[in-house]
A and B are shown apart, each in its own frame.
Chain A
């Protein structure tokens, strides 16, 4: 079945770049998503990328997609303490709209 895997924890210094990685198994995924969850809150959409794209940039965020290897990454430039949160990647099927989420990566930003 579909599966999405992420590493559980990443620690960086304020001002550095953060790279959060994700792998997925469903080759029919049409969209891949990144969500952010702050403590005690629901998830918020950060960005998404269509499976035919290699890269998408949105201000400090850069998403890279290697469809051959089924690998997705989220790069956050100039990471700030306010970026500390759990980041989830998800794959989506165009037919059903169902999203399958990874376990989430906790990003810790040290001042």
Chain B
């Protein structure tokens, strides 16, 4: 049981380049989300999805696109990378437990934009 798998683990981009961070889960969870982690700022929600075909914006969605064509996959696209997007990105899938939204996180993807 792999849980939540993120690829790549590390990536260096030049300003203006595009890329996709992949996220896959094998727990059949409906709810998935993307966070970015920056020093002193904790985790901030970028986008989330409550099920296949449905996505919504979080706190910091600008510069990022998502899609959810299957239950398993929730890729995060950077259309034109900027140095401000240098961060560690975490994907999470979650299930409901007596009303609580219990997140399972991937190991993270460290992105550097030069």
* A residues with CB within 8 A of B: 4, 6, 8, 30-31, 33, 35, 40-45, 48, 50, 88, 92, 94, 96-104
Neighbouring A residues of B40 by C-beta, 8 Å: 8, 103
* B residues with CB within 8 A of A: 4, 31, 33, 35, 40-45, 48, 50, 56, 58-59, 90, 92, 94, 96, 98-108
- Tell me whether A44 and B105 are in contact (CB under 8 A): yes
Neighbouring A residues of B42 by C-beta, 8 Å: 4, 6, 88, 101-104
Neighbouring B residues of A45 by C-beta, 8 Å: 102-104
Neighbouring B residues of A88 by C-beta, 8 Å: 42-43
Neighbouring B residues of A44 by C-beta, 8 Å: 105
Neighbouring A residues of B31 by C-beta, 8 Å: 97
Neighbouring A residues of B48 by C-beta, 8 Å: 97-98
Interface SS majority for chain B: strand
- Tell me whether A43 and B90 are in contact (CB under 8 A): yes
Sample of 20 A–B contacts (CB below 8 Å): A6-B42, A31-B100, A31-B101, A33-B100, A42-B106, A42-B107, A43-B43, A43-B90, A43-B92, A43-B103, A45-B102, A50-B100, A92-B100, A94-B99, A97-B50, A98-B58, A99-B103, A101-B44, A103-B42, A104-B42
Give the nearest-CB partner of B38 in chain A. Answer: A103
> CA separation between A42 and B23, bound complex, in Å?
13
- Tell me whether B102 and A48 are in contact (CB under 8 A): yes
- Tell me whether B101 and A97 are in contact (CB under 8 A): yes
